[in-house]
Amino acid sequence: MLKSTTALAVILALGVGVALAAGPGLAAEPAPLKYGAWGFDLTARDLKTRPGDDFFRFANGAWLDRTPIPGDKPGISLRVLESDLAEARLRTIMEDSAAKAGHEPSTVEGKVGAFYKAFMDEGRVEALGARPIAPELDAIRAATTHDRIGALMGRHVKDFEGSAFAIGLDVDTKDIAHYAIYLSQAGLGLPDRDYYLKPAFAEKKAAYRAYIETLLTLEGWPDAAGKAAAIVALETRIAEASWTKSEQRNPDTTYNPYTVAALEKAAPGFPWKAFLAEAGLGGPAKVVVIEKTALPKIAAIYAATPVDVLQAWLAFNVADNAAPYLSKPFATAAFEMRQKTLSGQAEEQARWKRGVHAVSGGDYGAGDRSDRFGNLGWAVGELYTARYFPPAAKAKVQALVADLKTAYAARIKTLDWMSPATKTEALKKLAAYNVKVGYPDKPRDYSKVAIRDDDLVGDVRRAAEGDWAFYAGRQTGPVDRGDWGMTPQTNDAYNGSLIDIVFPAVILQPPIFDPTADPAINYGAVGGVIGHELTHGFDDQGRKYDSKGTLRDWWAQADARTFEARAKVFGAQYSAYEPLPGAHVNGALTMGENIADLGGLTLGLDAYHASLHGRPAPVIDGLTGDQRVFLGWAQAWRGKVRDDAVRRQVVSDPHSPRQYRVNGPVRNIDAWYRAFGVKPGDALYIAPENRVRIW
């Protein structure tokens, strides 16, 4: 729900359901979203803009002009409004649950309610100040050696500590029947290494140093100013040693198995055994290192850093990670840095919204760090889908997925640049995909996670410990093929290492999916998203995994060279885009998402054509079927963000800014030119021989 009455009036005028609170402390049941009479909001278009000059603006320009960005958000979009609706629904669930929850409940619903109640007890949070993180700070003060500090960093997987290295557990891509422990570079508190190394971000870096000093002062840490400067210097050295995000995208160079003994020799200076033991991982037979050349450098930096600086750095991380759950001085400082300075968000979100994020996890546009730590996300998802995601919706999306897979198979069979042997393997992989819709079949067990209505930080800590215990406990067991990597209330979708594609419940609402909309709109929107996720299995990263999910080269060499050449041309198109002066899209970083967008929209259009079974597409409000497919895609990406958020995105996010997620694909699709009469001289025009055709 938006704070701005102007924005609210706009949304209501568009026919988007927004429910106002029924009274103080009570949330009304929010109305569902709706766009226009048949799924597209005709009043959103800017008819003064030619489609061939800026199709994103043609489809969305009037909406962009009349819709302000709310003060408590870094941007506004129809996807944000989806998240707002989910947020409002979650509020009703949590308030209902809180009203029935006891002090330390045993049911899933009770635990969700007690956690939310603890967050909303602002008086108690303020009275406690920094006391809830005293155990972590005491342990840091007692850690007076490099070995002991390194061991404490192992707790980052289940508590508020930070770490110079990150631990993850996922399917072993060279042995898909088992899980592997992955180790990667970490240690940076700013969004990307560029924030430390490029002059364009000097002001952000200076603000970060001041933020560190503020949190250390609030904790009562000695020499806060001096230690803040030393911490920024330390993180700058780590940034210099770290791989770029583009380098991290290559599966061939990011799978580097080591025994722990071999890792100790390759990256000396860090207590790897104690680090893994503190994480509850014992003595694993092997670990997989992501950034092979960076970890030894960071280990050496760690070993050369004085103990008192490492202690202060760890103390800062505890406060930074815990800030959303602490008293106002901590929370406000974190907002000023994390949302306002880095993303341009003008106002802090209402406490109930922050409470929803804290309990539920996931990304609802909060921009804070509350989704990184302990929450009851899977419990909340169980309650959410029981109330808001009917089985009929799941069945309709599953049918759409089948249509898209059929369209993709037909396209693979007719590719003119791929050899028969590679096509056979590609079709095997496509057929192997397990598509998961809405919610997991098996609920997560929270019986051992103790939640109390008067212990917010303790709830976060215990939830994090329970979540990590779930993953760490299965490291030696068989791979769970039914596993999900996103909760049902997460507004996103993904293509996973299990040769699976997941579409959580929250994304399956307008503008992405509307069961009452014109089919062309759904094929352009949710069809495009489904095709996008399918294409991820065949983008510049995904194509390197076979039909079982194993990292293996299954391509004929000539086919791989053709793919790479076409991808290079596509990447150059995106690298030329400049959303703000001096801020260019990184075509290498965004390559996978851009290829998936092109493939997804192409497949959505193919599937729509197939759904007509030879019949002519109806014309609605003067718009042809093909035009409506492209407009459905454009509407799905309708939105805008603040300049600071754009600058952050282009250096740290593998997704291109939303205008290029529309203009970038369409200008490479022949049918778009025919549908909208795009001609030479139009700004987006590309000659047919120069259009990129991959899938």
Strand partners, 181: 169
3-state DSSP of 450-505: CCCCCCHHHHHHHHHHHHHHHHHCCCCCCCCCCCCCCCCCCCCCEEECCCEEEEEH
Q: Are residues 270 and 227 in the same domain?
A: yes
In the predicted structure, residue 372 carries a pLDDT above the cut 70 = no
Percent of all residues in the chain with a pLDDT value above 90, rounded to a whole number: 90
The predicted-structure confidence for 215-252, as pLDDT tens digits, reads as follows: 999 999 999 999 999 999 999 999 999 999 999 999 99
8 Å CB contact between 55 and 663: yes
Q: Are residues 541 and 681 in the same domain?
A: yes
Q: What is the CATH number of the domain that holds 571?
A: 3.40.390.10
Q: End of a domain among 300, 324, 348?
A: 324
Query: Which tokens sit at 280?
Result: 């509850």
List Cβ neighbours of 5 (8 Å cut-off, separation of 6 or more).
none
In the predicted structure, residue 209 carries a pLDDT above the cut 90 = yes
Q: Are residues 470 and 488 in the same domain?
A: no
Q: What is the CATH number of the domain that holds 162?
A: 1.10.1380.10
Q: Nearest 5°: phi and psi at 248? A: -75, -5
The predicted-structure confidence for 152-181, as pLDDT tens digits, reads as follows: 999 999 999 999 999 999 999 999 999 999
Read off the pLDDT of each residue in 603-630 and give the average, rounded to a whole number: 97
**Residue 49 covered by a domain:** no
Dihedral sign from CA coordinates of 476, 284, 317, 171:
negative
C-alpha–C-alpha distance, residues 76 and 645, integer Å: 12
C-alpha–C-alpha distance, residues 179 and 177, integer Å: 7
In the predicted structure, residue 12 carries a pLDDT above the cut 80 = no
* Intra-chain end-to-end CA distance of the chain, in Å: 40
Q: Are residues 188 and 298 in the same domain?
A: yes
Answer with the residue of higher pLDDT: 512 or 29. 512
The candidate with the shortest Cα–Cα distance to 695, out of 571, 590, 606, is: 606
Query: Which tokens sit at 114?
Result: 């007690």
8 Å CB contact between 77 and 10: no
Q: Which band of pLDDT confidence, cut at 50, 70 and 90, is reported for residue 9? A: very low
Question: Does the bond joining 24 to the residue before it have cis omega, within 30 degrees of 0?
Answer: no
SS3 48: coil
In the predicted structure, residue 365 carries a pLDDT above the cut 60 = no
SS3 167: strand
In the predicted structure, residue 202 carries a pLDDT above the cut 70 = yes
In the predicted structure, residue 368 carries a pLDDT above the cut 50 = no
Cα 535 off chain centre by: 18
Find the helix or strand (DSSP H, E) in which 217 lies. Answer: helix 202-219
List Cβ neighbours of 533 (8 Å cut-off, separation of 6 or more).
493, 494, 495, 501, 503, 596, 600
Q: Are residues 525 and 397 in the same domain?
A: yes
In the predicted structure, residue 370 carries a pLDDT above the cut 80 = no
Q: Which strand ranges, in their side-by-side order, compose the sheet holding 175-185?
A: 165-172, 175-185, 287-289, 256-258
CB atoms < 10 A from the CB of 679, how many?
Answer: 10
List Cβ neighbours of 79 (8 Å cut-off, separation of 6 or more).
491, 511, 512, 636, 637, 639
Query: Which tokens sit at 326?
Result: 């602490």
In the predicted structure, residue 429 carries a pLDDT above the cut 90 = yes
Determine the residue type at 154: G
Containing domain of residue 187, as a range? 131-324
C-alpha–C-alpha distance, residues 586 and 609, integer Å: 33
C-alpha–C-alpha distance, residues 221 and 226, integer Å: 11
CA 331 vs CA 320, 368, 516: distances in Å? 9, 10, 42
Q: Nearest 5°: phi and psi at 258? A: -140, 150
Per DSSP, 496 falls in state E
C-alpha–C-alpha distance, residues 180 and 256, integer Å: 11
Q: Are residues 540 and 612 in the same domain?
A: yes
8 Å CB contact between 537 and 499: yes
Considering only 202-206, 364-368, 580-584, which range has the smallest mean pLDDT? Answer: 364-368
The predicted-structure confidence for 122-148, as pLDDT tens digits, reads as follows: 999 999 999 999 999 999 999 999 999
Q: Are residues 269 and 339 in the same domain?
A: no
Q: Which band of pLDDT confidence, cut at 50, 70 and 90, is reported for residue 28? A: low
**Residue 66 covered by a domain:** no
Count of alpha carbons within 13 angstroms of residue 441, beta-carbon side: 6
Read off the pLDDT of each residue in 623-628 and give the average, rounded to a whole number: 98
In the predicted structure, residue 20 carries a pLDDT above the cut 50 = no
Q: Are residues 289 and 336 in the same domain?
A: no
Q: Nearest 5°: phi and psi at 180? A: -130, 155
**Residue 21 covered by a domain:** no
> What pLDDT shows up at residue 392?
84
Q: Are residues 652 and 542 in the same domain?
A: yes
C-alpha–C-alpha distance, residues 188 and 367, integer Å: 17
**Residue 12 covered by a domain:** no
The predicted-structure confidence for 648-672, as pLDDT tens digits, reads as follows: 999 999 999 999 999 999 999 999 9
Whole-number CA gyration radius for the chain: 25
8 Å CB contact between 504 and 492: yes
Determine the residue type at 568: K
8 Å CB contact between 94 and 431: no
List Cβ neighbours of 661 (8 Å cut-off, separation of 6 or more).
593, 597, 637, 655
Strand partners, 438: 504
C-alpha–C-alpha distance, residues 656 and 576, integer Å: 12
C-alpha–C-alpha distance, residues 630 and 624, integer Å: 10
C-alpha–C-alpha distance, residues 82 and 489, integer Å: 11
How wide is the angle at C-alpha 77 spanned by C-alphas 75 and 80, nearest 5°? 85
8 Å CB contact between 81 and 33: yes
Read off the pLDDT of each residue in 462-469 and give the average, rounded to a whole number: 96
> What pLDDT shows up at residue 5?
24
Q: Are residues 123 and 153 in the same domain?
A: no
The predicted-structure confidence for 77-127, as pLDDT tens digits, reads as follows: 999 999 999 999 999 999 999 999 999 999 999 999 999 999 999 999 999
> What pLDDT shows up at residue 547?
95
Task: State the pTM of this model.
Answer: 0.91
Tally of domains within the chain: 3
**Residue 37 covered by a domain:** no
Q: Which band of pLDDT confidence, cut at 50, 70 and 90, is reported for residue 10? A: very low
List Cβ neighbours of 90 (8 Å cut-off, separation of 6 or more).
356, 360, 380, 384, 489
With b meaning 16 or more CB within 10 Å and e meaning fewer, what string describes 52-68?
Answer: bebbbbbbbbbbbeebe
pLDDT, the chain, mean: 93
Q: Are residues 253 and 372 in the same domain?
A: no
**Residue 19 covered by a domain:** no
Answer with the residue of higher pLDDT: 395 or 38. 38
Q: Are residues 320 and 330 in the same domain?
A: no
The predicted-structure confidence for 54-78, as pLDDT tens digits, reads as follows: 999 999 999 999 999 999 999 999 9
Cα 359 off chain centre by: 18
In the predicted structure, residue 6 carries a pLDDT above the cut 50 = no
**Residue 103 covered by a domain:** yes
Q: End of a domain among 460, 480, 500?
A: 480
**Residue 695 covered by a domain:** no
In the predicted structure, residue 549 carries a pLDDT above the cut 80 = yes
The candidate with the shortest Cα–Cα distance to 343, out of 648, 650, 584, 3, is: 648
Count of alpha carbons within 13 angstroms of residue 249, beta-carbon side: 21
The predicted-structure confidence for 489-508, as pLDDT tens digits, reads as follows: 999 999 988 999 999 999 99
Q: End of a domain among 297, 324, 351?
A: 324
